Chain A
Amino acid sequence: ETGVTQTPRHLVMGMTNKKSLKCEQHLGHNAMYWYKQSAKKPLELMFVYSLEERVENNSVPSRFSPECPNSSHLFLHLHTLQPEDSALYLCASSLGSGGLGSGANVLTFGAGSRLTVL
């Protein structure tokens, strides 16, 4: 258990469904991230929230909609997805905005949500 909990662990949905992925961190971190991991490709950053404000958005299609109601919770709302969106979605968190050598860049990942779009 890393202190970052993701639910559900597995999700199968049709292209017309609406579903949400949830992430919760118990580490006292103040930044949260969504990454997408597809087979044989690098982890792709999707969104970054710092102090509940979205600070990075990597040209993600609008069918993915993030929500960060507080510094401990992060959601990824999914609607009208495509089969190519099938992947492992990883949530991560980190602490603070300190300088070099601080914990600011140390990401702690959740176990991931394996999404299959039919």
Chain B
Amino acid sequence: QKEVEQNSGPLSVPEGAIASLNCTYSDRGSQSFFWYRQYSGKSPELIMSIYSNGDKEDGRFTAQLNKASQYVSLLIRDSQPSDSATYLCAVRVDTGRRALTFGSGTRLQVQP
């Protein structure tokens, strides 16, 4: 079983719609969760972090964490063509480790 799983997509949504990106993880002891955005040919950039159950909102982005279900999601409201990118879910799977474990990413396409 992969440590961090994401649907590779592509996920296609029309402009103005809500895009919902999902991620599951295998280690119940995971403490920190991140969403990175990676444009084609560019490096990943952090867009959201979440550490406790519930929702965290930042502008058009909302991260949702459910530790009981080992599930973290990212909602993008009012999707724009500029949101088209690959979204990487990252998890700190062990309190003894500094590095993050990444999923393979979900490619999002926002259709104008």
- Residue from B43, B88, B92 having most chain A Cβ neighbours under 10 A: B43
Instruction: Report whether B43 and A105 are in contact in the complex, using a CB–CB cutoff of 8 Å.
Output: no
Is the CB of B104 closer than 8 A to any CB of chain A? yes
| Cβ contacts B56-91/A at 8 Å (1 or 0 each) | 000000000000000000000000000000001010
Total contacting residues, chain A, CB less than 8 A: 27
Complexed CA–CA distance, A31 and B43 (Å) = 18
Instruction: Report whether A109 and B98 are in contact in the complex, using a CB–CB cutoff of 8 Å.
Output: no
Is the CB of A100 closer than 8 A to any CB of chain B? yes
B99 CB contact (under 8 Å) in A33, A40, A90, A109: A33
Is the CB of B8 closer than 8 A to any CB of chain A? yes
Complexed CA–CA distance, A94 and B51 (Å) = 17
Instruction: Report whether B43 and A42 are in contact in the complex, using a CB–CB cutoff of 8 Å.
Output: no
Q: How many Å from the CB of A30 to the closest CB on chain B?
A: 10
Chain A residues closer than 8 Å to B102, beta-carbon distance: 35, 42-43
Q: How many Å from the CB of A113 to the closest CB on chain B?
A: 11
Contacts A31-B98, A43-B88; A109 near B103 (Cβ below 8 A): no
Q: How many Å from the CB of B63 to the closest CB on chain A?
A: 14
Which B8-59 residues have a C-beta within 8 angstroms of A?
8, 31-32, 34, 42-46, 49, 51
Complexed CA–CA distance, A112 and B32 (Å) = 24
Complexed CA–CA distance, A44 and B107 (Å) = 18
Chain B residues closer than 8 Å to A40, beta-carbon distance: 8, 104
Which A86-118 residues have a C-beta within 8 angstroms of B?
90, 94, 97, 100-101, 104-112
Chain B residues closer than 8 Å to A33, beta-carbon distance: 99
Chain B contact residues, CB within 8 Å of chain A: 2, 4, 8, 31-32, 34, 42-46, 49, 51, 88, 90, 92, 97-105
Chain A contact residues, CB within 8 Å of chain B: 2, 31, 33, 35, 40-43, 45, 48, 50, 55-56, 90, 94, 97, 100-101, 104-112
What are 5 A-B interface contacts by the 8 Å CB criterion? A31-B98, A35-B102, A42-B2, A105-B100, A107-B100
